[in-house]
């Protein structure tokens, strides 16, 4: 038996279904409908067992693909009888995801500190913005490219001698935005387990993406990141950390053979001897070495290179495209596996390749019944425009 004072299950108990419960089961999350980062934070919470209710606007047509394991109700937040439903739900909720620009919640009469936390001290209000809430850009509109530009991250991305290259909206919206907001929510939940109180979580994509770039930021005075954009070890400057087109046009191979032993395996696979090639440590010879690799990779198809490098330590792998992965039956998995309390499995019919499908109002009636015991026609009704409204104003907090 453990003597630390903490309960630890015996190994055989881990096979009991109780230990397969999702880690966030019982956590109630209200997600105000938004774009990209807010819904992604909600998706992560939903995948790990939280009950996530999206609040849609009347007559809205949602293109949101990040709706797996969520439900929805439609509320007119400018109508008191509809707003009161949100207020009632927030008295029992654990988390509110606010994706709006600064000041929107306050104008709706939903100030986190002046209203929400006073009525529900355990509530965690996660506020997701693009720019910092206290910076010079706080009142400006922006998108992923603007946030990573301000953070300093965009300046590091792109080929040598070329303009900075924005890598889709992965770094700002999702990595520095939704995923960071998700982490903030988890930290606040941990804090609440000690203090009994919720709090406001303020996440923004400028700080989130800048934090992700901690390694190159701190490495500017090292050999790895001391050169201009596109001329460093890990940003396309190094010939043995790059991608190469193969014989079949448009199909590429990725090479990351940084360590000497891995580089040696790469050279062997390419059919060379180390002594035949320029010294890999000589940066002045990197352009020559790149041309040698470029020419050699063009001699075989991607499949042929796979046959050579699969199972080796050459750090050489094919660059798969999304359509290929989908066609081959690749299934997306949750981003981390918890052995005893795993995430909810991604539906087999989706496999990570389809999303959306959650229409405004889907599952909302059941969620109101589960969360607060309300019944349609008795406690609330649905207007012609889809908005849920309370009957007799009895939902006020």
Nearest to residue 208, comparing CAs of 158, 136, 133, 123? 133
Integer Cα distance of 320 and 252 in angstroms: 8
Q: CB-based burial of residue 159 (10 Å sphere; 0-12 exposed, 13-18 middle, 19+ buried)? A: middle
Closest by alpha carbon to 387, among 94, 84, 119, 88? 84
User: CB–CB of 360/62 below 8 Å?
Assistant: yes
> Is residue 359 within 8 Å of 72, Cβ to Cβ?
yes
Beta bridge partners of 380: 376, 390
* Positions marked active-site: 173
- For residues 56 and 350, the answer to whether their CB atoms sit within 8 Å is no
Contact status, residue 208 vs residue 150, Cβ threshold 8 Å: no
Write down the residue that tokens 């060379």 correspond to. 272
- Bridge partner list, 331: none
Between CA 127 and CA 201 the distance in angstroms is 6
**208 vs 179: CA distance, rounded Å:** 9
Q: Are 240 and 255 in contact (CB under 8 A)?
A: yes
- Which tokens hold the place of 321? 């495209």
CB atoms within 10 A of CB 251: 17
């Amino acid at each position: 038996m453990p003597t630390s004072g903490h309960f630890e299950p015996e190994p055989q108990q881990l096979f009991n279904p109780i230990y397969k419960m999702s880690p966030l089961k019982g956590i109630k999350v209200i997600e105000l409908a938004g774009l990209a980062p807010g819904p992604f934070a909600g998706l992560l919470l939903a995948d790990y067992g939280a009950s996530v209710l999206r609040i849609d606007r009347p007559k809205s047509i949602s293109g949101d693909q990040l709706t797996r394991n969520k439900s929805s109700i439609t509320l007119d937040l400018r109508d008191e009888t509809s707003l009161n439903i949100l207020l009632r739900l927030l008295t029992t909720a654990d988390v509110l995801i606010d994706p709006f620009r600064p000041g929107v919640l306050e104008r709706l009469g939903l100030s986190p500190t002046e209203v929400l936390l006073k009525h529900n001290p355990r509530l965690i209000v996660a506020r997701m913005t693009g720019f910092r809430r206290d910076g010079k850009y706080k009142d400006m509109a922006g998108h992923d490219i603007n946030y990573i530009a301000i953070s300093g991250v965009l300046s590091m991305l792109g080929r040598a001698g070329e303009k900075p290259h924005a890598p889709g909206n992965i770094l700002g919206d999702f990595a520095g935005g939704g995923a960071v907001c998700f982490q903030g929510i988890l930290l606040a939940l941990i804090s609440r387990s000690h203090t009994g109180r919720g709090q406001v979580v303020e996440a923004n994509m400028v700080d989130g993406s800048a934090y992700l770039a901690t390694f190159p930021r701190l490495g500017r005075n090292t050999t790895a990141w001391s050169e201009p954009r596109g001329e460093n070890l890990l940003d396309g400057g190094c010939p043995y950390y790059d991608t190469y087109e193969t014989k079949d046009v448009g199909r590429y191979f990725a090479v990351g053979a940084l360590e000497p032993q891995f580089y040696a395996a790469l050279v062997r696979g390419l059919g060379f001897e180390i002594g035949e090639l320029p010294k890999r440590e000589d940066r002045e010879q990197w352009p020559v070495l790149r041309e040698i690799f470029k020419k050699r990779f063009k001699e075989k198809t991607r499949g042929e290179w796979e046959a050579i490098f699969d199972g080796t330590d050459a750090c050489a792998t094919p660059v798969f495209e999304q359509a290929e992965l989908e066609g081959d039956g690749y299934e997306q998995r949750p981003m981390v596996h918890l052995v005893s309390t795993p995430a909810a499995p991604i539906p087999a019919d989706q496999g990570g390749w389809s999303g959306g499908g959650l229409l405004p109002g889907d599952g909302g009636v059941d969620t109101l019944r589960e969360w607060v015991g309300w019944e349609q026609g008795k406690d609330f009704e649905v207007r012609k425009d889809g908005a849920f409204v309370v009957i007799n104003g009895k939902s006020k907090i």
